[in-house]
Amino acid sequence: MAAVSGDPREVGRKVRSLREERGISLSELARRAGVGKATLSGLETGTRNPTLDTLWAVTAQLGVPIAAVVGSAIDEVVVRGEAVEATLLEVFEDTGVTYELYRMRVPPGATQTSPAHHAGVTEHITVFSGTLSAGPADAPLVAGPGGYLTWRSDVPHGYTAVGEEPVLASLLIRYPAT
């Protein structure tokens, strides 16, 4: 499933530029991110629209928020994973910190496991409807309507809609500067 709406060539150009700015070879970034070299090459050339997990793995190794590669047209950036569909609503910059605010939907029965973000990244979810199990893979948290979850997401973590109702929520990701 494609991770990002819009032109994958623009995402690829940004990934390549960030990689080259850091002096990292394509092979080394692929190794660090745990993705295939051909997958990363396809992402950089725009011939592949990567999965959300691939983008998060790559941006974590580059030390940047996902918004750094998905574009500046914030109003229409939609990222998709195995279970999560999230629309990027806003990116906030503060001294030493970037915040990304998403509207998130998880369909009933769907589960997604995401790789660790870079050190110090935290996620904050407010659930509006449905019941969500989310957080560190080894210690997930649960919240229903009006509930709030937060955790350090620099470890593998997941999202699961519990029950028959889709989860509608807001997701705030806090990225400290690396």
Q: Could you read off the pLDDT of 13-40 as tens digits, one per residue?
A: 889 999 999 999 999 999 988 888 998 9
SS3 12: helix
Q: Could you read off the pLDDT of 147-169 as tens digits, one per residue?
A: 999 999 999 999 999 999 999 99
SS3 23: coil
Looking at residue 145, what DSSP letter applies?
T
- ∠ CA 123-87-94, nearest 5°, is 50
User: Confidence class of residue 63 from pLDDT cuts 50, 70 and 90?
Assistant: confident
Q: Which of 6, 111, 14, 110 is nearest to 65 (CA)?
A: 14
Domains and CATH numbers, the chain: 8-63 (1.10.260.40), 82-176 (2.60.120.10)
CB 130 within 8 A of CB 165: yes
DSSP 46-81: TSS---HHHHHHHHHHHT--THHHH-S-GGG-EEE-
Q: Could you read off the pLDDT of 135-145 as tens digits, one per residue?
A: 999 999 999 99
Q: At which residue do the structure tokens 């990304």 appear?
A: 100
Q: Could you read off the pLDDT of 116-140 as tens digits, one per residue?
A: 888 899 999 999 999 999 999 999 9
User: How far is C-alpha 147 from the chain's CA centre?
Assistant: 21
Query: Which backbone phi and psi does 63 adopt, to 5 degrees?
Result: 75, 30
> What is the average pLDDT across 95-117?
90
The 3-state DSSP composition of the chain as helix, strand, coil percent (nearest 5) reads: 30, 35, 35
Task: Answer yes or no: is pLDDT of 65 > 90.
Answer: no
User: Confidence class of residue 3 from pLDDT cuts 50, 70 and 90?
Assistant: low
Instruction: Name residues whose C-beta falls within 8 Å of residue 87's C-beta, 6 or more positions apart in sequence.
Output: 76, 77, 78, 102, 103
